[in-house]
Amino acid sequence: MSRPDYSLSLLPNFPIAKQQAHTLSTHNKIRTDNYYWMRDDDRQDEQVLAHLHAENAYCDEQLAAMKPLQNTLFEELKARIVKDDNSVPVKDGKYWYHSEVRGDDEYSRHYRSTSIKADNKELLLDVNVLAKGFEFFELGEVALSPCEQLMAYSEDTEGRRIYNVRFKSLTTGEMLPDVLENTEGQVVWANDNKTVFYVKKDLKTLLGYQVFRHELGSEQSQDVMVYEEQDSSFFMGLGKSRDESLIIIDLASTETNDTWVLDANKPTGEFKALMPRENGHEFDVDKLGDTFYIVTNWQAKNFRLMTATNETIANKTQWFEHTAHRENVLLEGVELFNDFLVLSEREQGQARFVVVNRQGIRMALEFADPCYYAAIAMNPEPDTRTARIYYSSLTTPGSLYDVDLATGEKTLLKQQKVLGSFNADDYQSERLMITARDGVKVPVSVVYRKDSFKKDGTNPLFQYGYGAYGYTIDPSFSSSSLSLLDRGFVYVIAHVRGSEMLGRQWYEQGKKEHKQNSFSDFIDVTKALVEQRYCDDNKVFASGGSAGGLLMGAVVNQAPELYCGVGCHVPFLDVLTTMLDESIPLTTNEYDEWGNPNDPQFYNVIEAYSPYDNISAQNYPNILVTTGLHDSQVQYWEPMKWVAKMRELKTDSNILVFKTDMDAGHGGASGRFKSLEEKALEMAFFIALLN
């Protein structure tokens, strides 16, 4: 049988955007942006929409030859997913809570029962019903009242992460008339079972900046604002302490935290600052009984754990050190139980847990894979001697364990089932340390299929990266990646600077004036993998989204010759213009990440790498760009402008396609199957380029 021909060749009828010069002047420097006109905050400009539709039509035409391959991949991805699946019930109060999906349903149904066997389950929410009629739907937070007879849930129907909150009586099954609009999606109940607190968004900046108190049965217009944050560099969130005695307002900028609290039994009281706000002080605080537990960077770059009481919490000098700072260990968090603490730590890039009992005896929980992802799962109740822990690796499907906190013994509750012929023994993972140009060693996670990999420079390679905000992309299992591995690809995650893979300093060396390190690391990893013969130098592909899309944009400007194809998704590409415009959502929150270009020093730093500003007349790889029209994190016009300028200046005949989901936001399509179409599109693009 002959091999299907999915090969792609450039179609010449790509959309050509009009050029309309717009002058931008900062620090006596002049930039001319010919595509500034593409910005439409209302997303109703007919000229803009027409160009996006033209790009979508061209993308479909250009990639038509690979459509059968894309369909095959989509069916592969879908076929690996168990259609009928249940989550493991988790106990919270009097009930056990779990979710189920059935057949071709895109969304879950949420239930509760009075036993772990779920033999008398009660339907709380059918998300399929809620999502009916919407092109996009995301269920936000579900919050039960302390009496467990009232439920609040939030929903986003546009993809802009603006949530409306609704309420349901679990006694009668009826919806309550209360609706809270334009919220962050979090709802916290006071202990009186009738008062809730929520964060309201600024619809222009999309920042949550006000906390309101709502009493059931009243109109939202009557709600009382109980806190307003004046500093627009802070994100705002709501929560409740572990012992449910406090309602907590969490405020976080990139480099500073602040916390305000209210007695949950006195909802009409005033929120008060837990401690003075201090620039550069990052911390996370929780409370159990009479003790506050503070994970803090005070005199501890990689954080340490301190404890305090009501009387000492406001004064750091009176805190007691529970777990000291260590130069080579990052303390990421703590989970509180009545008789134990579970510390989440990271050393040499690898996550681990340390259980500490009341006597201070410490016990590390061990895992076998060379590189893996592990996290504390849902543990609603502190009065237990077991903890739920989630575990996964590049070769191990997601696994949920109950861990005996006294002995460390792990009991497997459930492992993700992968339908088809998957056998974990067919795959091999590695952890490499690759030396970057400045001598720093960069962690790299690698996985491949044993019977198709030869370290002889013949395999295709897919390299992924992110590298921002201190967010670490841990090596975890992805059933969708099997479609590449089974076709001979080597799959790589480059843990470039900008994450916290190697501790806090790893993050600091990949932000602001050091941002170039993220790009150099990614490029140097690619070069090293080619030199070490993990792949064919003509078959290297790269992908990243959001800040990872920025990574892709910078990499293709600086080293385009290394890559055959690149996927660039919801990408942050027009960094300089965006960071100079405080009217764009989230800009002011980002100053401590990228630097404030109103300062000439950071203007020059950003100008040197900003992907949009550094497009030049050179050859570029084949590139697939995707975005969502309603993206609230990275506005649609950034990739739109970038593609237009790329078409104007690039000197090659490689493929450049741009696809906009006209219904989605930053997270892409909603639903468990619909979202697979985007993955199938990129994989088909890369595989077709090998023909």
Q: What is the pLDDT of residues 266-320, one digit of tens each?
A: 999 999 999 999 999 999 999 999 999 999 999 999 999 999 999 999 999 999 9
pLDDT classification of 589: cutoffs 50, 70, 90? confident
pLDDT given at position 1: 38
pLDDT tens-place string over residues 343-386: 999 998 899 999 999 999 999 998 888 889 999 999 999 999 99
The stretch 405-415 carries a mean pLDDT of 96
Q: Mean pLDDT across the stretch 406-421?
A: 95
Of 634, 611, 614, 606, give the one whose Cα is nearest residue 514: 606
| β-pair partners for 499 | 470, 497
- For the cut 50, the answer to whether the pLDDT of residue 509 exceeds it is yes
pLDDT over 70, % of the chain: 98
DSSP class of residue 19 equals -
Length of the chain equals 691
Q: Which long-range contacts (C-beta less than 8 Å, at least 24 apart) are formed by 312-320?
A: 313/274, 313/275, 313/285, 314/274, 314/275, 314/276, 315/275, 316/275, 319/294
Residues 528-537: tens digit of each pLDDT: 999 999 999 9
Q: Catalytic positions, please?
A: 546, 631, 666
Please report the pLDDT score of residue 202 as a whole number.
85
Tokens describing residue 629: 């029209």
Per-chain mean pLDDT for the chain:
94
pLDDT for the residue numbered 618? 98
pLDDT band at 3, cuts 50/70/90?
A: low
Q: How many CB atoms lie within 10 A of CB 392?
A: 22
Q: Confidence class of residue 667 from pLDDT cuts 50, 70 and 90?
A: low
pLDDT tens-digit readout, 238-269? 999 999 999 999 999 888 999 999 999 999 99
Tens-digit pLDDT profile for residues 479-500: 999 999 999 999 999 999 999 9
Q: List C-alpha distances in Å: 244 to 95, 267, 291, 343.
A: 17, 13, 13, 21
Question: So what's the pLDDT on residue 675?
Answer: 80
Q: Is the pLDDT of residue 565 over 50?
A: yes
* Model pLDDT, residue 672: 66
pLDDT digit string (tens) for 167-193? 999 999 999 999 999 999 999 999 999
Question: How far from chain centre, in Å, is Cα 667?
Answer: 9
* pLDDT, tens only, 20-54: 999 999 999 999 999 999 999 999 999 999 999 99
Mean pLDDT of 469-474: 93
pLDDT tens-digit readout, 223-235: 999 999 998 889 8
CB 154 within 8 A of CB 238: no
Q: Could you tell me what percent of the chain has a pLDDT over 90? A: 87
CA nearest to 572, candidates 495, 508, 618, 518: 518
Per-residue confidence band for 691, with pLDDT thresholds at 50, 70 and 90: confident
Q: What pLDDT is stored for residue 2 in this prediction?
A: 47
Return the pLDDT at 633.
73
Beta bridge partners of 326: 329
Which pLDDT value is given to residue 136?
Answer: 85
Angstrom distances, CA of residue 617 to CA of 313, 542, 557, 640, 641: 58, 21, 10, 19, 16
Provide the strand spans (E) within 436-548.
441-449, 461-464, 490-494, 540-545
| Whole-number Å distance between alpha carbons of 468 and 9 | 35
pLDDT band at 670 (very low <50, low <70, confident <90, very high): low
pLDDT at 465 over 50: yes
